Structure 1
Amino acid sequence: MIYEEINSILYRYDGEQVRIEPWGPNAFRVRSTRCPEMPSEAWALEQSPPTVDVSSKISIVGDGSGTVTNGKAKAVITKRGKITIFNHCDDVVLEEYARNRRDLLDANCSALEVEAREFKPLVGGNYHLTMRFESLREDEQIYGMGQYQQPHLDLKGLDLELAHRNSQASVPFALSSLGYGILWNNPAIGRVVFGKNTTTFEAYSTKVLDYWVVVGDTPAEIVERHASVTGTPPMMPDYGLGFWQCKLRYETQEELLQVAREYRRRDLPIDLIVVDFFHWPMQGEWKFDKKFWPDPDAMVEELKSMGIELMVSIWPTVDQRSENFAEMMELGLLVRSERGVRTNFEFEGQTVYFDPTNPDARRYVWNKAKDHYYSKGIRTFWLDQAEPEYSVYDFDNYRYFLGPNLEVGNVYPRDYARTFFDGMFSRVTLPLTKRSRHARGVAGLQREPVKSAHYPAPRSQRETSNKRNASPQLETPAENMDMDILDESMNGSCDNEHGETDSYRAVAALPQEQPEVAEVMTLSDMNAGIAPAEERINDPVNWVVPSASEETGADGQVGNLSCSHDGNILDEYMAGATFMDQLAVSVLEAVEMLYMEKKLPEQLGDFDLLHWNANSIIAKAGGWEHPVLLHLHLSRLHLLTPLIHMRTLAAAASSRALSMPVETSKVDKARFYISQWVIRDQYKARLSLIHAGAILWHVRRYSVNNFLEPFSIFAATLVVWSYSTMMTFLKKNKRTGQEQANDRSTSPYISNDRAPTGASPLEAIGDTPLAETEEEPEPVFLHLDRPCDDEMVQTYVRLGHKMAGHMSKVGDICQVGAPRRILREGIRMLMGGAEQPLQSETSKQRESLMVDGQASYAWGIEQPYVELLDSLVRSSAD
């Protein structure tokens, strides 16, 4: 029997009741049980669903079936109880697998007698549950499910255990390329098989079938809907986003403080330091061992005076020799064993876990932590061993307050986090931070640890000084940065040699006709913030770069050298240039020294090691490039380029092309950083082009259509386009010496008596015609998107200002018209190499940018990238 009940459909047959109800936009919650009443636990879901979509509609038709429509999703249950989920195109995305003869009109009518929802009774009243779905397409791709020790990203064809172990975190949410997501909302131990013939979920002991299914057009939409029903964490506090220092382990209080003091002595950024395990006398005592940590109060106070937060490790294990074991045993606060010795984990003692599913146990442990940690000013906790890790994973041998481990075991990490969140949140409004080894160890955990921990920015609490040589007080990775540098970078001012403040946010008039890409770059943008750099570039005797390491100039004087580019790290604190003693080197000589000194992001060395290993695999495979190379080149792009700002600039140009509003301040900042990248960090910029070209080569030759390829093409295209746009703009808009002199009259430099003549930003990167150079480099051009040896790469990075970088179907990337051709090539690759007419060439009406109506990649994730690049093409001039 099927009938409507409180905005849901209820089905009853032979002791089973099934409820289908809208649960957030485009989604349903499906539950089934053979118990007299439907269990009420929400588990991973919020207690109540988000506001039901206004388009939700329920209908029961004449043939006895029922339909629930909720936005883009539709659920149909037949009079025999079979459930099918459709998308807004009326395509089946999820269908129960049933093989029986109850419905002779069903195409899958069979004598097999296999039920979609199978409840096998167990002793004690629970059931072994099996839920079966059809495997609709062999080429379906499935992602998610948490963290498993296996090498496959696509889970199709895999058998996964639904249980936590050390280094295994089961988060049973799967994302399908067919356009749906499914959350197995059950904390029972079990398994899932994403087979070619069926998809099967099992719970080894449970009372209820409970899953949530959502339909969406893109992965982002599906994941967003999932977050809306399971909960979202707030932003980490500022110190949580900074540098953490941790090792296994600091044995004494003095050892930890010496490390913290040394960080401050060297002016190295540090935001948090961790006291790892066994700082306690015994497991289960949750306090510092006075023998090795004699004065925790003084330690915390000293660390806070240095601007360093202290995190302590918490373990849920209770040693049978600890002072709390007997009391906790008496109060029933420990995990029980069904048989054998009462030992859960053998590690430096025989231990039993406390039972966080018991509210009394949560209060007991929090009170101990409050007395020995929280009262001393410690607000940050690392909740380790959160699986929990058993010496023997006999899941059927452990019992919690909520029930047998087989039935509720996967809820342990969530309730472990509740222990500290409930305790801290009930008494304070200060920032709360906890880290769990299984921070995603169970679906829904993300909403527990720091539900409302809004952290006040440290700069609103501390006094800072802008006086030169004063120690800055900033809790950021840029903590050791001189405040005057920040002021110069952000406000466009600097101190000249007479101690006076000069402003250099100068001032060339905006040209009436925008070159190349509309609203992307103006002369003002290229001059803003780099006028002092022009002087140093063209007057090398008076030039110096920011301080870091000492080098001796040609005149015997000692100066300081360092890179000024901070890559993609904390835009807010990008350093400008300081102006100190004289250094008699040219800009190219100085930057060459930086390059040869390996003053590049340290992480690049790690990627080189991985690359060598990848090359050996390629050699064994007869030249076939493994997809890991794509990851390595993309990782380097993130380190070497201001990629976020490039995307901001592209989006702004796209929005203007569509007559949409643009946030000017963000665009101005993006222009500034990209101009610094091209002019001041030319070596990094050209090295970035090498990696961008390698990405394009890899995708053309060795594509496996994985989900990362569209973004990689998009990122590589943006990098080459940004560089090309800046260079072509500079070449087309060289100013005469007289124009510069006029500008200089209203835009003072550092040293007015040393004003350069005929200077332009282009000269900062050595834009000297080849015919005028003493040596003509060999070769004179490089194919960026073809394989090249290391010597060629080094030559281009160091002498690229005298060479032409070429791309397939583009030519010289610094010639007029190249930015538009670069965009078109990126679009072509995103569309699978098809030569399709674009909106920019046909009509102003928006049309589909997919090949033959089908996306080249799963879910059509390349489409927004194609649309953005296409709008950039439309915004540019021929």
Structure 2
Amino acid sequence: MINKMNIRRICILMFLFFAISITDKGQTYQKTDTGIKTVINSVGVEIQFYTPSTVRILKWPAGTTFTKKSLSVIETPQKTAFSINQSGDELFLKSKNVQVDLNLKNGRISFSTSTGGEPLLREKEAGVSFAKFNDAGAKTYTVGQSFVLDKGEAIYGLGQQQQGKMNQRNDILHMIQGNTDDYIPYFLSEKGYGLYWDNYSPTLFVDNPDSTTFKSDVGNCIDYYFMYGGNAHGVIAQMRDLTGQVPMLPLWTYGYWQSRERYKSQDEIVGVVKKYRELGVPLDGIIQDWQYWGDNLHWNAMEFLNPNFPHPQKMVNEIHAMHAHIIISVWASFGPKTKQYEVLNKKGMLLNFKTWPLSATDAWPPDMSRPSGVRVYDAYNTEARKIFWKFLDKGLFSLGI
């Protein structure tokens, strides 16, 4: 005879058997305040509604833990009403404006409007990748995610590149910030949605007929945002909400600005503005680039130490008197003979890696027998940023620049 204790044990075992079976098939999920969490094929997946129009996707190797604090996203999840429905292996999360479809068997996610229909964007099946990576002693991953776009779909964005293209389809971009390349891992589709890949390490963007992929050298997780705006204006509005509102610049900044590699003297830069006025050619501003500080040992001193700029206040006043503005270049690094270097070095706020300029001389190629000693400051340090600003304010802003 089977007693009550045995019956209870049998029921518990049967429950555990079915629970384990369902979990192994990737068909269970945990509802959260903002969406759901689950594990599919050894990959943790979280879907978070930030707003009715913005959805965050997180993925990570199952069994690992991480803390991700974004350096660019300032928005926090708003209280967003959403529904969850399941049909076979498909899980549907729907807000007022967006529907997210998660395949509980293969982990693929697709996005559409709340009215359904063809997906606006979908991930490529088996398009997620995690490869172990040693980041200067820290164990982490190289992370990647592939998407499938419509064949003729145009996408715009990804920052500033020197290739003369608007549509970024059929392209390969090595997204590393450079002198004339300023990358943003974000694109806007003509279909009325945007995608922001929230990773700051060197990233490879590849678009070909097979897929559209972001692959970043370093990351504890995949972290991206899908934004639906209906049109370009709506998507940009979502991005501004996500990363912060940017005020409009003054009207005069939208006029013509004159610039060159650099002006080598005070007389030269003032003379250029005078010539524009003599010719009657409109000019709103002029840009003074590098070496106004002198040699490379005084790199980015934020002072006019170059003897060819003997009276910087007089120079600024003369330019302003001609109803023009002046902008000046500053850098995130300092030469060893600057005041900034001395202060930051004592506080351990300079980073120890090679940066441009490599040599103390201006000769080309660089004379490495005379290294410049220039070092980048730690911009992630709050006190270091305050020191940077103090010297900038005293040396340049005080002149009216």
**Contact 1:3/1:60 (<8 A) preserved:** no
Supply the AA of the counterpart residue of 1:58.
S
Deviations 1:536-558 (A, max 9, x none): xxxxxxxxxxxxxxxxxxxxxxx
Instruction: Give the Cα separation in 2 of the matches to 1:230 and 1:206.
Output: 20
CA–CA separation in structure 2 for the residues paired with 1:38 and 1:85: 26
Amino acid at match of 2:140: N
Write the letter of the residue equivalent to 1:125: K
TM-score, normalisation: structure 1? 0.37
Aligned ranges 1:574-613 → 2 under 5 Å: none
Displacement after TM superposition at 1:44 (Å): 3.2
SS of the equivalent of 2:152 reads coil
Partner of 2:392: 369
Q: Does 2:221 align with 1:196?
A: no
Instruction: For 2:358, give the aligned amino acid.
Output: E
Q: How many residues align?
A: 354
Q: How does 1:321-470 map to 2 (within 5 A)?
A: 321-322=337-338, 324-337=340-353, 342-346=354-358, 348=362, 350=372, 351-378=374-401
Q: What is the alpha-carbon distance in structure 1 between the residues aligned to residue 346 and residue 120 of structure 2?
A: 52
CA contact (8 A) 1:354 1:361 kept: yes
The verdict on how the C-alpha distance between 1:293 and 1:344 changes in structure 2, with shifts beyond 3 A counting, is closer
**Pairwise CA distance, 1:29:** 1.1
Change (3 A) 1:260 1:40: same
Q: Is contact 1:172-1:184 (8 Å) kept?
A: yes
Q: Tell me, yes or no, if the aligned pair for 2:34 and 2:47 is still in contact at 8 Å.
A: no
Query: What is the match of residue 5 of structure 1?
Result: 32
2:189 — aligned with what? 176
Q: Secondary structure at the match of 1:145?
A: strand
Residue 279 (structure 1) aligned with residue 292 (structure 2): yes
1:290–1:278 Cα change, 3 Å: closer
Cα drift, residue 279 of structure 1: 0.6
Residue 120 of structure 2 is aligned to residue 93 of structure 1: yes
Q: Tell me which of 233, 248, 255 is aligned to 1:242.
A: 255
Give the SS at the match of 2:329: strand
- Deviation of 1:160 after TM superposition, in Å, equals 2.0
Q: Structure 2 matches for 1:543-692, cutoff 5 A?
A: none
- Counterpart CA distance in 1 for 2:46 and 2:257 is 48
**1:43 match: secondary structure:** coil
Corresponding residue number in structure 2 for 1:403: none
Q: Deviations over 1:478-521 (max 9, x none)?
A: xxxxxxxxxxxxxxxxxxxxxxxxxxxxxxxxxxxxxxxxxxxx
Q: Please give the alpha-carbon distance, in whole angstroms, between the structure 1 residues aligned to 2:130 and 2:340.
A: 42
CA change 1:335–1:269 in 2 (3 A) is same
Q: For residues 309 and 164 of structure 2, what CA distance do their matches in structure 1 show?
A: 43
Q: 1:287 Cα deviation (Å)?
A: 0.7
Q: Does 1:76 align with 2:101?
A: yes
Alpha-carbon distance between aligned partners in 2 of 1:262 and 1:316, rounded to the nearest angstrom: 33
Q: Residue 365 of structure 1 aligns to which amino acid in structure 2? A: F
Which residue identity is paired with 2:155? Answer: I
SS at match of 2:206: strand
1:206 aligned residue: 219
Q: What is the CA deviation profile of residues 417-475 of structure 1, one whole-angstrom value per residue up to 9, with x for unaligned ones?
A: xxxxxxxxxxxxxxxxxxxxxxxxxxxxxxxxxxxxxxxxxxxxxxxxxxxxxxxxxxx
Output one character per residue of 1:240-299: Cα deviation in whole Å (capped at 9) or x when no partner. 123433344332323333444555566664432332211113213111116222332333
User: Which one has the bigger strand percentage?
Assistant: 2
| Structure with a larger share of its residues in helix | 1
The aligned residue for residue 141 of structure 1 is 154
Q: Tell me the equivalent position of 2:315.
A: 299
SS in 2 for 1:116: strand
Unaligned runs of 5+ in 2: 1-27, 363-370
Q: Distance in 2 between matches of 1:140 and 1:243?
A: 34
Does the Cα contact within 8 Å between 1:145 and 1:171 map onto a contact in 2?
yes
2:130 corresponding residue in structure 1: 119
- Answer yes or no: is 1:28 the counterpart of 2:55: yes
Cα 1:266–1:164 change in 2 (3 A) is closer
Percent of aligned positions that are identical:
22
Seen in structure 2, the aligned counterparts of structure 1 residues 290 and 154 have a Cα distance that, compared at 3 Å, is: closer
**What SS does the aligned partner of 1:125 have?**
strand
1:58 aligns with 2:83: yes
2:163 matched to 1:158? no
| 1-structure distance, mates of 2:174, 2:306 | 43
Q: Which amino acid aligns with 1:120?
A: A
Cα distance in 2, alignment partners of residues 275 and 320 from structure 1: 23
CA RMSD of aligned residues (A): 3.0
Larger radius of gyration: 1
Write the distance in 2 (CA, Å) between the matches of 1:57 and 1:203: 31
1:195 corresponds to which letter in structure 2?
N
1:192–1:200: 8 Å Cα contact kept in structure 2? yes
Instruction: Report the AA paired with residue 117 of structure 1.
Output: V
